[in-house]
Amino acid sequence: MIGKVRGLGKLQLEGSQDINLSPTQRKKIMNSNFKFKLLSHLTAKKEDKGFTLIELLVVVIIIGVLAAIALPNLLGQVGKARESEAKSTIGALNRAQQGYFTEKGAFATGTTNLEVPTSGTKYYSITVPAAGIQLANGTNNPKDGTRDYGGGVSYNTNSRSFSSIVCRAVSSPAYALAASDITGGQITSNATVGCVSSTVSEEVK
C-alpha cells in the first residue's frame, strides 16, 4: 500500500507545475498523503463495522435490569390508583352513616338508605353487610393489584359523638376483608371502632 501511495504521489508531482521539489519535500508530501488515506480507510472500516454482538448484549441486559426494577413499582402505583375509588366510597359511606343515625337513631344496614352512589365502581363491589359496617371488596384483587377496604362507624352515648375508621387488607395474596374484620356499629357508652387484627387489616389515615 505504501508503494501505491508513493507512486500516486510521484504522478501528482510530475503533473504539477512545480517539478523541482527536493527529495525532502517529496517525502513530506508522500507522508501526508499516506496518513490521510490511512485515516480515511480506518474511519470507513469503523463505520461499516457497527455494533458488535457483545455491545448489543450489554444494551439488552441494561434495558432488562431497568425494566425489572421499574415494572413492579409501576404496577404498584396502578393498583393504588384503582384503590382510590374504594377508599373514597368507604369514607363517604361512613359520613352517610352518621347522617342517617342523626335522623333515624340507628345505623343503616344497606346502601339504598345512605344515598351514596355505589354502582359505578369499576374494581370493587360495595356493600353494607351489617349496621355501621361498610365493605369494598375487590372483584379481582390479584389481577388488578388492589386490596379490600372496610369502614366502621360507632356512636358513643356518653360523649354523644361518632367515631369512624377505614381499614385496608394486608393479608396476601387475596387481600380480602369481611364484616367480622372491622369493629363498628356500636351504640353504647364505650363504643369503639377498629381493625380487628393487624395481620388481616390496617387503619388508613
- Give the range of the structural domain holding residue 102, as residue numbers without chain letter: 83-203
CA distance 176 to 155: 26
Predicted confidence at residue 14, as pLDDT, reads 45
Whole-model pTM: value is 0.66
Predicted confidence at residue 69, as pLDDT, reads 79
Torsion of CA 74, 75, 78, 82, to 10 degrees: -160
Adjacent-strand bridge partners of 34: none
Query: Higher model confidence: residue 76 or residue 185?
Result: 185
Predicted confidence at residue 5, as pLDDT, reads 40
DSSP state of 16: S
Q: How far is CA 135 from CA 6, 29, 52, 113, in A?
A: 91, 90, 58, 15
3-state helix, strand, coil in the chain (%, to 5): 50, 20, 35
Q: Are 154 and 186 within 8 A, CB to CB?
A: yes
Tens-digit pLDDT profile for residues 87-120:
999 999 999 999 999 999 999 999 999 999 998 8
| 196 and 120 housed in the same domain | yes
| CATH number of domain containing 166 | 3.30.700
| 93 and 182 housed in the same domain | yes
Query: Higher model confidence: residue 24 or residue 58?
Result: 58
Q: Three cell numbers at 161?
A: 359523638
| 95 and 187 housed in the same domain | yes
> Residue 8 pLDDT more than 60?
no
Predicted confidence at residue 1, as pLDDT, reads 45
Structural domain includes residue 119: yes
CA distance 86 to 195: 16
- As a whole number of Å, the CA-based R_g of the chain is 39
Structure confidence at residue 24 as a pLDDT band (50, 70, 90): low
| 45 and 88 housed in the same domain | no
Predicted confidence at residue 47, as pLDDT, reads 54
Predicted confidence at residue 21, as pLDDT, reads 64
